Amino acid sequence: MNKKYRRILLKISGEFLMGNLSFGLDVKTVDRIAGEVRVAYENGCEICIVIGGGNIFRGVSAASYGMHRAAADNIGMLATVMNSIAFQNSMEKIKVPSRVMSAIAMPTVCEPYVRRKALRHIEKHRVVICAAGSGNPYFTTDTAAALRALEIGCDVIMKATKVPGIYTSDPEKDSNAQFMKKVTYRDVIDKNIMVMDHTAISLAKENAIPIIVFSLKEEGNLCNILSGSGHYSIMVPDNVGGGS
C-alpha cells in the first residue's frame, strides 16, 4: 500500500449503495464495497468511513418541496445511521472489526462520536464508521467527511462517486465534459465544479489535505489507488498546480 496514505477517510454516497435499485439498499453492493475495504484494511490501512443517506432520504430535496430544512436534514442524518449500521453488518460478516459512531446520540444502536474514542478504535485497528453527518442541519455529509478527516488526522479524503473522477461538467449530462486528472481546490471553487460541497473543499484547502475522487464501480479500484495506480482525479493545494 502507498505509505503516503496510511490513514484514509472514505466517503461513500448513499446513492451508490442502491446498486441497480431505484431506492434503498442493495445488499450485494454493500457487501462488495465492504470486501474492497477489507483488502485495504488487511494491507495495513487505517480507515474511517462516512456514508451519505441519499438512497433513503435527501434533506435538500425534501426542503425544496416545503419541509423545513432543519427537519429535513435531521431525517437525512438518521438515514446515514441506517446505512452505517448496514455497512457495519457487511464488515462483520467478513470478520473486519468496526464501530459505528454517531454524531446524534442513540446509544442503543451505536456509540456516540467522540474524537478521542474514535482515535482509540483506529489505534486498535478497527474501522470507524462515522454516522449522522456532523450532527447539525445545513451541513452535507461531504462537509462532515472533511471535518472527521481533520479531527482524526487522515492523510487523504477519498470520495467514491459514480464517475471515474473530476470533470469540467457532469459527464452523465454533457458528452463534452473533460476529465481532469489533477486540479487545485481554487480551480474547483472558482469554476464551480460540482464534485463536492464547497464548504468541504474549503476545509480541505485550509488544511492542505488532498481529495481523491474515484469510482467504486470499477472493482478493485480503491486498493489500486492506494497501491499507486488505479483511475482517479486528485484535488491538491494551489501551490502544487492543477491541470488536466
d(CA 53, CA 12): 9
Q: Looking at the predicted structure, is the pLDDT value of residue 151 above 90?
A: yes
Q: Based on the number of CB atoms within 10 Å of its own CB, is 175 exposed (0-12), middle (13-18) or buried (19 or more)?
A: exposed
Count of alpha carbons within 13 angstroms of residue 50, beta-carbon side: 27
The reported pLDDT for the residue numbered 240 is 60
For residues 231 and 220, the answer to whether their CB atoms sit within 8 Å is no
The reported pLDDT for the residue numbered 3 is 62
**Cα–Cα distances in Å, from 68 out to 53, 64, 74?**
18, 9, 10
Q: What is the mean pLDDT of residues 139-164?
A: 96
What is the per-residue pLDDT across 130-146, written as a single tens digit (0 to 9) for each?
999 999 999 999 999 99
Strand 233-236 relative to strand 182-184: parallel, antiparallel, unpaired? parallel
What is the per-residue pLDDT across 20-62, written as a single tens digit (0 to 9) for each?
998 899 999 999 999 999 999 999 999 999 999 999 987 677 7
Q: Looking at the predicted structure, is the pLDDT value of residue 2 above 70?
A: no
Mean pLDDT of the chain: 92
What is the per-residue pLDDT across 171-212, written as a single tens digit (0 to 9) for each?
888 889 999 999 999 999 998 898 899 999 999 999 999 999
Q: CA-based angle 217:221:222, to the nearest 5?
A: 105
Q: Which domains does the chain have, with CATH numbers?
A: 3-236 (3.40.1160.10)
The reported pLDDT for the residue numbered 78 is 96
The reported pLDDT for the residue numbered 173 is 87
d(CA 187, CA 109): 41
The reported pLDDT for the residue numbered 237 is 85
